């Protein structure tokens, strides 16, 4: 039994594999990597400044692994997986928009340094596509259970 449409599988698999790999890669991050990743995130989101860099990267790693798995498991409803992907991608794009040097001056176009973050717009598009498709289906109640 699936909780997703067959045509949802390609974007879910593409995003899920990518995000799961990212989380697995961060699972054994060294101190230097943790400080770099935390510094970039804390520069955009000041609430993260007080968080220990190694704890932050562990939390980020677990979050990415959970999101990647949710996207890959068809039993997770596309509405839920898409909403989570949309939120995650929105956070990444916030870093792209707010971090100096990521965009060409006076433009939304990425600088060479911003290309890695700018590509996360695809993740946002995938997440929104899943959510909008699920919300556009005629129903009286949004049902997150498999049918």
Domain count, the chain: 1
Report pLDDT digits (tens) over 17-32: 999 999 999 999 999 9
Domain of residue 23, residue span: 6-134
Report pLDDT digits (tens) over 39-66: 999 999 999 999 999 999 999 999 999 9
| Residue 146, in any domain of the structure | no
Backbone angles phi, psi at 142, to 5 degrees: -75, 120
Question: What whole-number distance in Å separates Cα of residue 24 and Cα of residue 19?
Answer: 9
pTM value is 0.88
């Amino acid at each position: 039994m699936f909780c997703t449409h067959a045509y949802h599988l390609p974007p879910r698999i593409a995003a899920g594999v990518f995000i799961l790999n990212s989380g697995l890669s961060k699972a054994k991050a060294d101190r230097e990597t943790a400080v770099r990743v935390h510094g970039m995130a804390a520069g955009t989101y000041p609430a993260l400044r007080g968080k220990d860099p190694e704890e932050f990267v562990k939390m980020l790693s677990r979050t990415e692994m959970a999101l990647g798995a949710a996207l890959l498991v068809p039993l997770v409803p596309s509405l839920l997986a898409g909403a989570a992907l949309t939120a995650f991608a929105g956070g990444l794009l916030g870093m792209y928009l707010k971090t100096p040097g990521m965009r060409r001056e006076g433009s939304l176009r990425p600088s060479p340094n911003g290309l890695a973050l700018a590509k996360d717009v695809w993740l946002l598009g995938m997440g929104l596509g899943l959510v909008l498709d699920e919300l556009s289906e005629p129903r009286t109640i949004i049902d997150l259970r498999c049918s």
